Amino acid sequence: QDSPLKAVQMLWVNLIMDTFASLALATEPPTEALLLRKPYGRNHPLVSRTMLKNIVGHAAYQLVIIFTLLFVGTWAPAPRRPPRGQGEC
């Protein structure tokens, strides 16, 4: 099968998406407290406990929603269609 996007097209999509993300981060001015903070050491974890809790919480939430839509969504009745000739034009 052919990929819907060629390699150059994927590079352009990546460039555009990364540009918007970097602009969003670059336009927020830094606070004084952030500028005066000392750097973290090399042995400090990159992901804090709070970040890990948020990541796990969001992953669990998304899994619940996806599995609910996947398994429970099929039990929902289909919308009724009017018989031919009796519906709107």
Instruction: Read off the pLDDT of residues 34-82 as tens digits, 9 standing for 90 and up.
Output: 889 898 888 999 899 999 999 999 999 999 999 998 888 766 667 777 7
What is the dihedral angle through the alpha carbons of 50, 61, 25, 41, rounded to the nearest 10 degrees?
Answer: 20
Of the ranges 4-8, 17-21, 80-84, which one carries the lowest mean pLDDT score?
80-84
**Residues 13 and 5: beta-carbon distance below 8 Å:** yes
pLDDT band at 86 (very low <50, low <70, confident <90, very high): low
**Residues 55 and 47: beta-carbon distance below 8 Å:** yes
Output DSSP code: residue 68.
Answer: I
